[in-house]
Amino acid sequence: MKRLRIPFTVLNIGQRIPNIDALVLTTLKEVFNINNYNERKVNFVPYKEEENFEKYLFNFLKIYQCGFKEYSKLLFSIDPGETIGMIVFLDGMYFYSKTFFTKEDLLTDIRKCIANIEEESRNEIKLIFKIGRGVSYPFILEFITNIYQIFQKKDNIRIYLINELKSSKFKFHKIFKSLSKHEASALILALRKGVKVDRDTYQKFFELKKSDKTLKKQLVQELNEISFLNRNIDLLKSLIIDLLHCKISIDRAFDIINQEQVLKQYPE
């Protein structure tokens, strides 16, 4: 809980549950012995003894961060390299972040996350991947190939290659101690639109960006958007704070960025 920045209190059996909005983690056996609580404010997340505890915590975090609902979209923003940072958004809300030291561990976590979300969903989840393109092309090519192989039966996949320019310049991980610098970079990449690729174009991206006029225009536009945020650090910082505190969604963050760009371009 400390690592996830979730405030908590340990209650003894029989101790009254405070009259505040809260999620209570307890065993399935004990949940029936708990009384004297405000049913409108308190919700229980019971743990079955035979249940996988890792999955139990995953489901708790899902409800705590993103609410209890039917989910439809997962965004994985990835800062690749020897050390890999990843941040995940569920239906636009910050879900969790992790650091990995191998591509295999990264892919394993992605597969588990998607499987756990889809297990309780009636609809297919839309998958969005934002991948920094600042490292060697072979890594990016191999990773995207792995994604398409693992999820070959899924049609609802979107992949964007993101310019990593100065994404590690801002030391936001020093503000949020639970974020590694690689996770912080992944968060900044999530706030960039990038260039969309698909099964037919991802292998040719680095070749096409030198010759394709449409792609060149997209890259210039992407650079302009990055430069805007780099010049407006206070805006970027406030967006990151609100995202990590689940006050706004990633979609709302983009709306705010667009509004600020218009105001800067056409001041009253």
d(CA 93, CA 29) in angstroms, rounded, equals 32
Closest CA to 85 of 167, 150, 141: 167
Length of the chain in terms of residues written:
268
d(CA 210, CA 218) in angstroms, rounded, equals 12
Instruction: Provide the terminal-to-terminal Cα distance of the chain, rounded to the nearest Å.
Output: 46
pLDDT for position 207: 76
pLDDT for position 12: 63
Domain boundaries, the chain: 1-51, 53-265
pLDDT for position 243: 93
pLDDT for position 133: 86
pLDDT for position 151: 93
pLDDT beneath 70: ranges in the chain: 1-16, 18-23, 25-29, 31-33, 36, 38-39, 43, 45, 47, 49-52, 64, 68, 136, 166-177, 264-268
CATH pick for 53-265 out of 3.10.450.50, 3.30.420.140, 2.60.40.10, 3.40.50.2000: 3.30.420.140
Q: Which residues contact 146 (CB under 8 A, 6 or more apart)?
A: 103, 107
Q: DSSP string covering 77-142, please?
A: EEE-SSSEEEEEEETTEEEEEEEESSHHHHHHHHHHHHHHHHHT-SSPPEEEEEEE-SS-HHHHHH
pLDDT for position 255: 94
Task: Enter the pTM of the model.
Answer: 0.80
d(CA 111, CA 107) in angstroms, rounded, equals 6
- DSSP H or E segment with residue 43: strand 42-47
Query: Considering just the CA atoms, what is the radius of gyration of the chain in Å?
Result: 21
pLDDT tens column, 87-100? 999 999 999 999 99
pLDDT for position 165: 76
Amino acid identity for residue 254 in this structure: F
Closest CA to 185 of 201, 206, 216, 164: 164
d(CA 6, CA 22) in angstroms, rounded, equals 11
